[in-house]
Amino acid sequence: MTARPPIAMLAELTHRCPLSCPYCSNPVELARKESELSTAEWAGVFRQAAELGVLQLHLSGGEPASRRDLVELVEAAREAGLYTNLITSGIGLTERRLMALDAAGLDHIQLSLQGTDAETADRIGGYRSGFERKMAVAAWIGKIGFPLTLNFVMHRQNMHQLPRALEMAEEMGARRIEVATVQFHGWAMLNRGALMPSLEQAREAGRIVREARERLKGRLVIDYVPADYHAKYPKPCMGGWGSTGLNVTPDGIVLPCHAAQTIPSLSFETVREKTLGEIWENSSAFNAFRGTDWMAEPCRSCDRKEADFGGCRCQAMALAGDATATDPVCIKSPLHGKIHAMAQDWAAEEGAELTWRTGPERVLEGQS
Amino acid sequence: MSLAAASVPRMPRGVRLQEDRVRGGWVLLAPERAIALDAVGLAIISRIDGARDFGAIVADLSETYGAPEAEIARDSGEFIAALAERRILEIMV
Ligand code: SF4
Ligand code: SF4
């Protein structure tokens, strides 16, 4: 199978983070600081990415601001010719550091929002006064003039705050807001009883988004990831597995998707052993679900297979125990009814406790 | 939708026109978006400098490509308005 060049790369610069969101997309086994790629190693990866055809680079984590060399990394990314986006909680960014990032050529900032008030946000993020710090960061971002996307991660405990999140995006002068219902992988899976929205909540959120898109046309772009457990069809897997994007972990493992390590049959290679291009084209993990040949029924003969690529491989693994199965969220999956019923049960769990993310080591304020 | 001749389109901060060395052609890079431009799109975008108004851009395109101004105004007006709606371009009136 020949691979088209990728468009986007997500660089998880570190798994360290001062926050401990219970839906963190990092794996439950976090990479330690000692194993992280160095500044020079990342710079090399960025050059290789640009040569391979990557246009957009997302600097993510953990919290990327926990890397002391963040400004140098942005410089290296821009030198490589990449459009550079920083995905951050804001913690660890000062006005001075933001000015240095501006001088380094950072193109865009995506600021996460755990809740729309300090009480909710700090409880979910597990970090006291985080909300206050974030608001200060948002003001500096506005002052410097960075284009901003607000990223509201939504679940049962904060879904009612969606209208306020939209208002905040406008107040901050954001051009875009991403309203993303929590995806149930890794840490979020441990918390599904506390985070799963109800069907009514999911419908209400959809209604609010539709209405806001109309009202805010031309002012605020709204990207919306609905709750797929309550849907008829699964989310498309980012333009198809191994087709548009790749992910590099803090220690240099190259993944077709951030949750790919939950699929035990796949083995992965690192940028310390091979070039990004070799891995993209030849690695068995990237080729495992490329195209549609790997599909079984009902996907194989389904007319939506080029539209959603059979849904999420990691979700198929987690829910059907088989990464090649149809995403069990799909109405055509034999597991669909069971999954819907399970989602209702999780959504109805009362007083379910949150399990906050822990490790690899907590980063204290001022350390970064 | 058509644009007023006096309105000035511009590329806001965070949007860049860049050559795609790997695939060939030119791309408009914006937050979470990479838009491959065809020859027509490139002709329009490369004339947007934040100073020239829409009327001047249309006149230039019409002269370069020998097509009637009304037609160019309609097509490029739609193109620019659609990008503005997605906040990839800004229109100053
Ligand atoms: S059967 Fe497969 S391809 Fe068809 S809609 Fe469901 S997941 Fe998508
Ligand atoms: S496999 Fe699932 S988690 Fe991975 S990119 Fe596809 S949809 Fe996303």
Interchain CB distance below 8 Å, A55 and B31: no
* Rounded-to-integer distance, Cα A294 and Cα A240, Å: 12
Is the bond leading into A22 cis (omega within 30 degrees of zero)? no
Domain that holds residue B48: 15-88
* Rounded-to-integer distance, Cα B68 and Cα A196, Å: 57
Q: What is the DSSP letter of A330?
A: S
> Number of CB pairs < 8 Å for A and B?
58
Does A1 score more than 70 pLDDT? Answer: no
Give pTM, 2 decimals. 0.92
> Which CATH number belongs to the domain containing residue B55 in this structure?
1.10.10.1150
Q: Which atom of ligand 1 lies at the shortest distance from residue A302's CA?
A: 4
Q: Is residue B25 part of a domain?
A: yes
Beta carbon of A317 within 6 Å of any ligand 2 atom: no
* Of A194 and B65, the one with more pLDDT: B65
Does A91 score more than 60 pLDDT? Answer: yes
Q: Is residue B72 part of a domain?
A: yes
Number of structural domains, chain B?
A: 1
Is residue A343 within 8 Å of A229, Cβ to Cβ? yes
Pick the closest to residue A314 from A254, A279, A277, A265 (CA basis): A265
Q: Is residue B63 part of a domain?
A: yes
Q: Is residue B3 part of a domain?
A: no
The predicted-structure confidence for A232-266, as pLDDT tens digits, reads as follows 899 888 889 999 999 999 999 999 998 899 899 99
Q: Is residue B57 part of a domain?
A: yes
Q: Is residue B8 part of a domain?
A: no
Is the bond leading into A298 cis (omega within 30 degrees of zero)? yes
The SS3 of residue A219 is coil
Ligand lying closest to the C-alpha of residue A245: 2
The SS3 of residue A41 is helix
The predicted-structure confidence for A169-217, as pLDDT tens digits, reads as follows 999 999 999 999 988 877 777 888 888 888 888 899 999 999 999 999 9
Q: What is the mean pLDDT of residues A315-338?
A: 91
Q: Is residue B22 part of a domain?
A: yes
* Rounded-to-integer distance, Cα A242 and Cα A5, Å: 9
Q: Is residue B6 part of a domain?
A: no
* Rounded-to-integer distance, Cα A212 and Cα A204, Å: 12
Query: Which residue has the CA at smallest separation from atom 2 of ligand 2?
Result: A312
Query: Which residue has the CA at smallest separation from atom 8 of ligand 2?
Result: A237
